[in-house]
Every structure is written in structure tokens, then in C-alpha cells.
Amino acid sequence: MRANLDLIWYKVYAELSAEAARTFLGILWWLIEPVLYMSVFYLIFGVLFQRGGEDFVYFLLIGLVVWKWFDSAIRSGMVSLQTNAAVIQQVYQPKYIFPVIVVLINTAKFLLVLLLLLLFLLISGKPVSITWLALLPLIGVQFVLIVGITSVCATVIPFVPDLKLVVDNGLTMLFFLSGVFFDISAVPEHFQVWLRLNPMAVLIDSYRSVLLLGQMPDWGHLFWVLLCSCVLMVAAVRVFNRNDRIYPKLV
């Protein structure tokens, strides 16, 4: 177990430094890329369509940063057994470490961008509220959610590779349903109930309450997200353990 942890941390460090070594600007790309990504959406929705009020930039940025962590981690983590096929066929390692490594890499990048976002809020004169402390449990819940979904997908995709396409398209759909561009609370009641079944909608809404409105998130909702994520994680660990020595034949 401790050797596994050593491997996980070193691999995260190694992949990140390899990524930085691959380009001229290296580590700067972890900032440039999200800034580019966010400017595209800001141009379209903030400038072109004139959506939202004066706080729309912050509103949109929070949604995008939080979503991007979820989206990139799942997209690359769900195929992590395939991307590590050569390793899996040459040495024995418990398979859960591969999606976890990908999620950690994406988490490191997210934290960097989040820091940038907080700085931006400070510079723009947004008041720092005590509710910012609620970011810690929020990040924790979202991390568990991402690990849960990524691991479950990673356990199934070697058996049913088609699931990758389903998840890819599902993520695109969820992107538009998670309230990245709109305020869930502004949607008619009877739709809201359904939209809030989506854990990312709950999370994005919570980040906004905490950072922009100085309100504590809805802990009850978050607790449900956490519970479901834990169930997913336990399920993934069980499938991984049962098929630990089958995966090398499949990837």
C-alpha cells in the first residue's frame, strides 16, 4: 500500500514535469490554456450575446473552472488503463492507481487555476467572505465525485470500449445542463428539481454562493453528492479487485 502511494505521487510528479518539458512555455501552459478556454466562452456569451448582468464574468468563470476540472479528469482518466497498457502487461500493479493518478494530475492543474481565479476576484474588489472557507469541503466533495465517476468508467471501458463514446457525448450534454452559462435558481421550479439531480449543477451553484454571494452552500445536497460518490468509489474498487488480473488481457 505504501509502495503504491510512493508510485502514485512520483508518477503524478513525473507526468506533470514531462508535460512541462514538452513545450517551450512549459508550465505556463497550465495557465494559458484555461485562460484561452475561458476567453472563448466569455467572448461568445458575455460580449456577443450580452448575457447576464455586471457580475456575469465572475459567474461564468467560476462555472467554467469548476467544470473543466471535472471534464478533463474524466475524459483522460476513463481510458487510463488503455493508455498504460504497456505497463499493465509488464508489471503487476493494482489497477485503481491509474485513474487516481490522472485525477490527481488534473487536480493539481485545477488548484493552480482556482488560485488565479481567487486572485482575479480579489483584484476586482470582490469582498473576501468567511464563506470562502467552505471552498475546502466543496473541493473535497468534488474530488471524491471525480474519482468515483472516473474509476467506474475506467473499470468498465476495457470490457465495453463503446462506453467511452457514450461518456464523451454525455459530458458534452451535461456541460450545458450544469448551469455553467445560466443560474439554476432562475429556471422554473419544476425543471429545477430535475436539474439539481445533476451533482455538477449542485457543485457549481455552491461554488458561486460561496464566492460571489457570501452564502454557505446547501450542505444537505452536498452530503448526497458525497454519499453517491463514495458508493461509486467502493463499486469501482470492488470491480477493480475482482478483475485485477483480467485487465492485462483486455487492454
- The CA distance from 141 to 210, in Å, is 15
91 binds another protein (CB under 8 A): yes
246 binds another protein (CB under 8 A): yes
Of 115 and 246, nearer to another protein (C-beta) is 246
Binding range to another protein, per CB under 8 A, among 90-98, 123-131, 142-150, 212-220: 90-98
For residue 18 the three cell numbers come to: 514531462
Selected binder of another protein within 50, 90, 130, 220 (CB under 8 A): 90
- Cα→Cα distances 51→43, 55, 138, 149, 207, Å: 11, 10, 27, 32, 20
For residues 1-60, which are near another protein according to CB under 8 A?
A: 2-3, 6-7, 10-11, 14-15, 17-19, 21-22
Q: What is the DSSP letter of 173?
A: H
Asked whether the beta carbons of 116 and 31 are under 8 A apart, the reply is: yes
Q: What burial class does residue 215 get, using C-beta atoms within 10 Å of its C-beta: 0-12 exposed, 13-18 middle, 19+ buried?
A: middle
Asked whether the beta carbons of 112 and 22 are under 8 A apart, the reply is: no
Q: Smallest distance, Å, CB 100 to another protein?
A: 15
Of 160 and 173, nearer to another protein (C-beta) is 160
Binding range to another protein, per CB under 8 A, among 49-57, 87-95, 198-206, 211-219: 87-95
Q: List contacts with another protein (CB under 8 A).
A: 2-3, 6-7, 10-11, 14-15, 17-19, 21-22, 84, 86-93, 245-246, 248-250
